[in-house]
A and B are shown apart, each in its own frame.
Chain A
Amino acid sequence: MKIINELYAYREMIRSLVHRDLRGRYKGSVLGFAWTFINPLLQLMVYTMVFSIILRNGIKDFYLFLFVALVPWIFFSSCVSAGAGCIRAQGDMLKKIYFPREVIPVSFVTSQFVNMCLSMIVVLAVLLIAGYPIRFEALVWMPLVMIIEYFVALGSALLVSSVTVYWRDVEYFMGIIVMAWQFATPVMYGLENVPEKLVPLFRLNPMTPIIVAYRDILYYGRVPQLETLISAVIFGIVILFVGYQTFSRLKVHFAEEL
């Protein structure tokens, strides 16, 4: 509870770090902040071309099937792979100034989250244009799913970023892990494509229920199953707890290790 109060006291720091990251990222480029929207749009165009011209498969509008899952996946994967180095990257600041150390991963994940939300606007726009009916009763579940994913990503970022301070290898390792993880998560395929025997294994993947829920809401336009939501919440709580506990143990010696 103390940490929540402290993070609240430092809310302006979180806000300005997120602001700095979002504004600073495209500073100096001609298109500037517009890149935040152009980037997913261009990605979508590439996927559309590849999967509706070259790699055609049975799934209807596969590029949309993929894209509604890929955007949340990219958010999670960058929190884990790039997020691993976020404490190290702020080493100078950390060694010289006191602030709650959690501020760094929290702002990193938040700025990635804001990025995802902006990409989601593009996703929704494309869905509308492609003639997908966006159902209100499905869409109201979106914020919940996004919040759950936020906490799963935050828990993972807390865990990997604090461990990376001590073992830098983790940062490089996570790049490969995340790539393998993507194929172990129903991003490029649906859970129904998975062989029956392997489904229980897939259910152990914390990202599975989240991605399934996104696709239910956006692509199929239906309310996610209660079972999916419950397992997502449980994973979220466990990961956040483990991540936070690890971080609190390790943060004490950050300044010496950096």
Chain B
Amino acid sequence: MKPENAIEVKDVTKSFKVYLDKGRTLKELALFSKRRKSTNRVVLDGISFDVEIGEAVALIGHNGCGKSTTLKLLTKIMYPDSGTIEMRGRVSSLIELGAGFHPDMSGRENIYINASIFGLTKKEIDDRLDDIINFSELWDFIDNPVRTYSSGMYMRLAFAIAINVNADILLIDEILAVGDANFQAKCYGRMQELKRSGVTIVLVTHDMNTVKSFCSKAIWINKGKIVTQGKSSDVVDTYLAYMNNQRILAINEERRRQMELAGLPADGVKKNDPAERKDPVTMDPTAKHFGNQKAVIRSCELLNHELKPVDALYPEEKFYLRFDYQINEPMDELIFGMGIYTLDGLWIFGTNTRLCDVKVNTKGKTEGTVYFESNPLWLMGGEYILQCSIIEADTTPCDYYNEYMKITVVKRWNEAGIIHYETKWYEQ
């Protein structure tokens, strides 16, 4: 081991046996040996990383990528199939809170039980008792049985014990969501304190803000392999970009599936080249519309800045709407309109051709296409509702969709609210 490292993981692999039909009884063992097919699921496939003493490192990745398994290997709950894990110093894990709590015993007695499971001796617990009680803020309740505690009090006590276990290496699995906002802030503060005091911390979390602000290094694990590791903000950005792409793919897939279910030709939905599409079907088959039907919207398609049909938008990119319409009764002029709403009905934006002094001449036409071009939306990530309409020159609705379809805007920023604009913070 290098002297500056607290943890060295080399080429660790781990796989689990997954039984398709786990028969363990004698009858099943004897009769259905073929049924007991098991597949070896590789959870970790050659992972290597080092953590320096005093470093705070985050393991990130989507669910089931192997990050929790890595943590379990570090705590020695499990052992790797091959490879080595070396650690220097006393290890404490905050994976399970309140282990061994006995509901009928007092908070104070449970402190002794729980802390002893972390490997503390009686004297060490005696020394920390006041700290633990103060941190949990349960002064008046500490001698009451734990079963009388609210769930918040229970978790506060459990966390107070876990965080007061002195360790050289602290392993934490997604447990910061404890108690109310004040208590969370306190936990966070305490972790900062531990970090400053030189404790090595390995954290598994989905909260990328915590990763960026708390950890100096991040390791992104995907399908049992390390995709990239390095400076936390860089790794997080790469990871988020990847996850957004995955999300868009998933949304498209879901939409395609729904179209199939609705009996609509699914292959028409997602072609890269809109020109190839003969029968545009972006329309939500369940959308409600009204109007005199003198002119109808055949489809209103959402296109990205490259004019490719999409279902999700990047808020910092231009986009287009393409109205394909059909005229059933001859008309000289039509007004095209669009609007965007939040899911709870707040009208964010709306416009139409007349408001923009554009005259759509439809004299003698039976069908046609109108494009609407929009600069970047700068909306926060989430789902929005697209409204679209064709109105006669005298404002009688021809075909009016209050909710034509839902648009997904990819999450780009961590601020709160509906819209994004460039801001900065300074310290004097």
Contacts and interface: CB of A to CB of B under 8 A. Distances in A.
A256 B73 CA distance: 12
Interface string B168-205: 00000000000000000000000000000000000000
B398 to A, nearest CB: 63
Interface of B is mostly: loop
A24 B16 CA distance: 37
A144 interface: no
Contacts of B78: 253, 255-256
A38 B77 CA distance: 41
Contact of B122 (A15, A20, A97, A255): A15
A221 to B, nearest CB: 40
B105 A27 contact: yes
Contacts of A94: 77
Contacts of A11: 121
Nearest to B91: A98
A16 interface: yes
Given A17-B113, A98-B93, A12 B122 contact: yes
Contacts, number: 80
Interface string B7-37: 0000000001000000011100000000000
Given A97-B93, A97-B95, A252-B79, A16 B113 contact: yes
A224 B113 CA distance: 40
Contacts of B102: 20, 24, 27
B241 interface: no
A255 B115 CA distance: 21
Contact residue range for chain B?
20 to 34
B96 to A, nearest CB: 3
Contacts of A28: 104
A98 B100 contact: no
Interface in A221-258: 252-253, 255-256
Contact of A12 (B93, B104, B116): B116
Contacts of B122: 12, 15
A169 B25 CA distance: 8
B112 interface: yes
A93 B121 contact: no
A13 B75 CA distance: 17
B120 interface: yes
A2 interface: no
B105 A20 contact: yes
Contacts of A17: 100, 113, 116
9 contacts: A10-B119, A12-B116, A24-B102, A24-B104, A27-B105, A93-B100, A96-B77, A169-B25, A253-B78
